[in-house]
A and B are shown apart, each in its own frame.
Chain A
Amino acid sequence: MGVVFAIALVSTVTVSGPVNAAAKTLTVETVFQLTSTDPARSFEGTGNMINRALYETLITYKGGDASTPVPGLASKWTVNANATEFTFMLNPKAKFSDGSKVTSADVVFSLNRLKNVKGNPSSLMNGITVSAKDEMTVVLKTETPQPQVLAIATSPSLGIVNSKVVKANGGSDAADAKDTDKALEFMKSASAGSGPYVLKSFNLTTEVVLERNKKYWGAAAGYDQIVVRNVPVNVQRLNAIKGSSSLAVDLSPDQADGLGNKVNVIRGQGRAIFFIYLSQNKTFSAATAFTSNAKCLEAVRYGINYKKIVRYAGEGAIQAAGLIPTMFSGSLGQKDAIKQDTSRAKEAFDACGIKDTPVKIGFWGDGGAVNGIFFASVAAMIDEDLRALGFKPKLEGAPLAVSLPLYRENKEEMGVWLWNPDWPDSTNYTESFSPGTKVGLRAGWVKGADPVIEELQARASTETNPKKRAALFRDWQREMNKRGPFVTLLQPAAILVSNKNVKGAAPHIIWTVNLHELKPTA
């Protein structure tokens, strides 16, 4: 039987290389995190990557940079002294893929649609109002000083859509858009943007195909076609070794070892911060009566073998010194990172008094992994460290549909999770992890629990001077490291594996890889 099928296989093999001489095609392999390519509804990794090539924002970043904005659809912009008013002057050359000019009406429509459709990313527009000053000028206003508006404006969810085309296909930006906007199906079959590529076909589970925008107003796109395929990580590795893909974006440092000479391995820093937290909800269970006391927290904080976790994560990963990752303002250096101190941890464990009470650790089981790091493996390592101190941990990993609600509803005793920035600015962290904020509440940390940290949070949210902001972010993290229920573990490496025939690939923290800037080498 083996002979029969071997013959059958060999006779039907087709050989395809990554670049077809007749039409230049880029194949990008990634594990899909995708719901649609409608910017107003899409907030996931793969969605952002694709939308960056289809739609353009007012301002953007070049290459792998995420700190200095460069012109996008707006050629100039100004910010008032209070950081409450942001004026953008549109580039008169900018055109959509159907040839029509990009005007302020399109910007206003797109941003209001984002706000009112109430999809995943609509919270980006919280507190921001948009209006058109004239045909080529747009003004974004906020009530309180919010310097991070510039960072928010670079998000692909704020991609500007062709309002005429979207409206003609059922789109709406009215206040009731969440019920009346019906453009989602249209947006899955075609794009209505101004970017260097347009959408050719969309399949949620297998592949999304982009093709060159022939009417693009900027420099011509590098490829005739981009195919983004849903490929599991182990196969990405195999394809990289064989040289049959152009880009693989999900490999971990381990998997990027020994790939051979057909590819370049580009190592950058990931933006996720892995942490473990202890529930501060005293009355939830027998275990949380203990996890909420400071001594238990100290035991965990100083008892974890951070070096082992970082080593597991591979080359390029670093211990997370604080909650704010390295690419943002005010992130802490490695000298501020907590160092394992087992004697201190053991003392704290005895003082904590939890003794033999079992404590459950929740996480995304079932193969959950980010940047090649499995939550289950991190949890297994922490399990070993805690056992050595005397804790009785019980690992409770579960698929996302089961474990995530428990975490979000403050129903866990301890949990290993991570945070990806909603927008590229440090205030996303001070506003999400302080007492009484979104993630703070998940750990049962209510408002008023720590006035020092809350005061730092308040000052950081309105400070406009960059140097002072950075200092405030640093202080906030140092205080969090002393008393906060979050023990930061790891910031992974983000690895891009690019075939040698691709030029210009750079990992980016918002859109993973700069598809729109890639060109073939020959």
Chain B
Amino acid sequence: MASRFGNSNSIWRQPLAVVGIIIILFWVFAAIFAPLISPYDPLSQDSDKFLMPGSLHWMGTDELNRDIFSRVIYGARISLPYSILLVVLSAFLGSIIGGISGYFGGRVDAIIMRLTDMFFAFPAIVLAMAVAAALGPEIRNAVIAITIVSWPVYARLVRGLILNAKQNDYVTASSLLGSSSLRTLVVDLRPNLAGPVFVLASLEVGNALLLLSGLSFLGLGAQPPAAEWGSMVSMGAVNFDRWWVGLFPGLAILSAVLAFNFIGDALRDALDPRTAKALRD
């Protein structure tokens, strides 16, 4: 993969990327060691509620008197893995579809591209809401719903890259030597594709997290009593002037998405210009 990046040193020269990596590492650490670093059990309820942030509860408590700081820490256990899962699924699905389209070309390509256009035109969140509502609000179904609307961007990328690569000599040479088309697709093209797809995925993780927490905010994603950042913000919406209930989970989302975007940006800038352009379009 190093050869696909124009200058593999430059990612480390970007301070923003370093900041992003630190933030993500913090959340990963928080997710893994949540039981150790949370002062309270995120599900334990009590009688007094809506305590303001103070020395006992650094971020205050919510309507069932659960400690918000603990719930924010535990929230990383839901938001991070599920966003990454979402991106992996979409990238996988999109790459396969785009791969088929690019490799076989002709009518197959035309049909698949029209399909991709259709999905692009579709208001993603409307479809995601409908699917999540009907399948039953659960974080797993939210992931399915969002995957259904997220694969097109990967399909387009992979198709474009394959079309570019097709013009390269080594592909022609490979098929002249008698490799089956599948083998060519997988073995020879994969190194060319893996890099850009990975970078696109890293750019998309932030969006995935936003969409996922958005659906949870609407009540169509993670369910109580799970500590998930989006649904915590919706409780904050109901209790406006208890500002701490919604503020901290939202900041958590912002920090994670920002970090992913820092990293994704740096990765893309480190690529060679041609692939970077393919990613931008």
- Give B21-52 as 1s and 0s: 1 = Cβ < 8 Å from A's Cβ atoms: 00000000000000000000001110101100
| Interface range for B | 20 to 34
Q: A376-B223, A402-B136 are in contact. Are A381 and B64 (CB under 8 A)?
A: yes
CA A140 to CA B49, docked complex, whole Å: 52
B207-254 residues with Cβ-Cβ distance < 8 A to A are: 218-220, 223-225, 234, 237-241
| Chain A contacts for B45, CB-based, 8 A | 308, 380-381, 384
A386, chain B: closest CB distance, angstroms: 12
Given A365-B223, A366-B137: A254 in contact with B50 (beta carbons within 8 A): yes
Asked if A366 and B220 make an inter-chain contact with CB atoms under 8 angstroms apart, the answer reads yes
Q: A384-B43, A399-B133 are in contact. Are A234 and B64 (CB under 8 A)?
A: no
Q: Which one of A234, A377, A399 contacts B224 once the chains associate, using CB atoms below 8 Å?
A: A377
Provide the B97-123 mask, 1 if CB < 8 A to any CB of A, else 0.
000000000000000000000000000
**B135: nearest residue on chain A (CB-CB)?**
A402
CA gap between A241 and B239 in the complex, in Å: 13
Given contacts A237-B240, A365-B219, A384-B45, contact A395 B225 (CB under 8 A): yes
What would be 6 A-B contacts, judged by CB atoms less than 8 Å apart? A238-B240, A254-B63, A312-B63, A366-B220, A377-B64, A380-B45
Identify which of residues 170-228 in chain B touch chain A, using a CB-to-CB cut-off of 8 Å: 218-220, 223-225
A379 at the interface (CB under 8 A from B): yes
B40 CB to nearest chain A CB (Å): 14
Q: Is the interface of A mostly helix, strand, loop or mixed?
A: helix
A254–B238 Cα gap in the complex (Å)?
Answer: 11
Contacts of B63 in A (CB 8 A): 254, 312, 377
Q: Is A396 an interface residue (CB 8 A)?
A: yes
Which residue in B137, B218, B239, B240 is a CB contact (below 8 Å) of A397? B137
The verdict on B2 contacting chain A, using a C-beta distance below 8 Å, is: no
B interface majority secondary structure = loop
Determine if A367 is an interface residue (Cβ-Cβ < 8 Å).
Answer: yes
Task: Closest B residue to A257 by CB, please name it.
Answer: B50
Check B136 against A383 for contact (C-beta < 8 Å): no
Docked complex Cα distance between A17 and B155 (Å): 56
Contact indicator A365/B137 (Cβ below 8 Å): yes
Q: Which residue of A lies closest to B220 (CB)?
A: A366
A390-438, CB < 8 A from B: 395-399, 401-402
Instruction: Kindly state whether residue B134 has any CB partner on chain A within 8 Å.
Output: yes
Which residues from B are CB-within-8-Å of A398? 133, 136-137
Tier of interface size on chain A: 20 to 34
Question: In the complex where A366-B218, A367-B219 touch, is A380 in contact with B239 (Cβ < 8 A)?
Answer: no
Determine which of A233, A235, A384, A399 lies in contact with B137 in the assembled complex, contact meaning CB atoms within 8 Å.
A399
Residues from chain A with Cβ under 8 Å of B43 in the complex: 384
CB distance from B203 to the nearest CB of A (A): 25
Chain B residues with CB under 8 Å of A383's CB are 225
Determine how close the nearest CB of chain A comes to the CB of B132; give it in whole angstroms: 9
> Which 10 pairs across A and B sit closest by C-beta, in order of nearness?
A366-B219, A380-B225, A376-B224, A367-B219, A234-B240, A380-B224, A399-B133, A398-B136, A234-B238, A311-B47
Contact B137 A234 (CB under 8 A): no
| In the complex with contacts A234-B238, A254-B63, A395-B219 CB distance below 8 A | no
Contact for A396 among B136, B238, B239, B240, CB less than 8 A: B136
Mask: chain A, 283-299; 1 = CB below 8 Å from B; 0 = not: 00000000000000000
Contact status A402-B133, CB under 8 Å? yes
Q: Is the CB of B219 within 8 A of A399?
A: yes
- Cα of A238 to Cα of B240 in the assembled complex, Å: 8
Cβ-closest chain A residue relative to B66: A380
Chain B: minimal CB distance from A149 (Å): 41
Residue of A nearest to B43 (CB): A384
Given contacts A376-B223, A384-B43, A397-B223, could you give 18 more A-B pairs where the C-beta distance is less than 8 Å? A234-B239, A237-B241, A238-B240, A255-B239, A308-B45, A308-B47, A365-B219, A366-B133, A367-B218, A367-B219, A377-B64, A377-B224, A379-B224, A380-B225, A395-B223, A395-B224, A397-B224, A399-B137
